């Protein structure tokens, strides 16, 4: 008498963390925390920032209409987008918000270099 056995099922593998995943995590956390800190400079004046008043004055000097409103939006976008990116919440939306903010900053800073000049009294974007 012969027995018929069921076909062998492939064993399930447990996903492992690869160096690629770890690198993306480090990048996401570093960029997220940097942007959140930059946003708190705009909103609260933390980390030697200008706060809303200083940021609005900078926005006015660059020609923005409704500078206080735009300073608030920029600060909230950087702070909340950075925190969301750090925590991995709505990552594509958080990254898109930060990219939009950084493209705007690039348009303002283009030709002025990456860092503010020494002894500059202006609030850099």
- Give the HSE-up count for residue 9: Cα atoms under 13 Å, Cβ half-sphere: 4
Predicted confidence at residue 36, as pLDDT, reads 95
Distance (Å, rounded) from C-alpha 104 to C-alpha 58?
Answer: 14
Q: What is the pLDDT of residues 4-53, one digit of tens each?
A: 766 666 677 767 778 888 999 999 999 999 999 999 999 998 888 888 99
Q: Per the structure block, which two tokens stand in for 41?
A: 């400079």
Predicted confidence at residue 107, as pLDDT, reads 81
Q: What is the pLDDT of the chain when averaged over all its residues?
A: 83
pLDDT value at 80 more than 90: yes
pTM score, whole prediction: 0.72
Predicted confidence at residue 62, as pLDDT, reads 86
Residue 81 neighbours by CB under 8 Å, 6+ apart = 35, 36, 39, 94, 95, 97, 98, 101
Contact of 68 with 52, CB cutoff 8 Å: yes
């Amino acid at each position: 008498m012969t027995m018929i056995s069921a076909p062998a099922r492939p064993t399930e593998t447990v996903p492992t963390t690869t160096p690629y995943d770890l690198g993306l995590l480090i990048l996401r956390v570093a960029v997220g925390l940097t942007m959140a800190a930059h946003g708190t400079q705009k909103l609260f004046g933390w980390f030697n920032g200008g706060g809303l008043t200083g940021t609005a004055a900078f926005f006015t000097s660059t020609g923005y209409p409704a500078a206080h409103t735009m300073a608030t939006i920029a600060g909230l976008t950087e702070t909340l987008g950075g925190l969301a990116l750090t925590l991995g919440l709505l990552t594509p939306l958080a990254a898109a918000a930060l990219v939009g903010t950084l493209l705007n900053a690039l348009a303002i800073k283009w030709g002025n270099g990456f860092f503010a000049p020494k002894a500059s009294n202006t609030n850099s974007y």
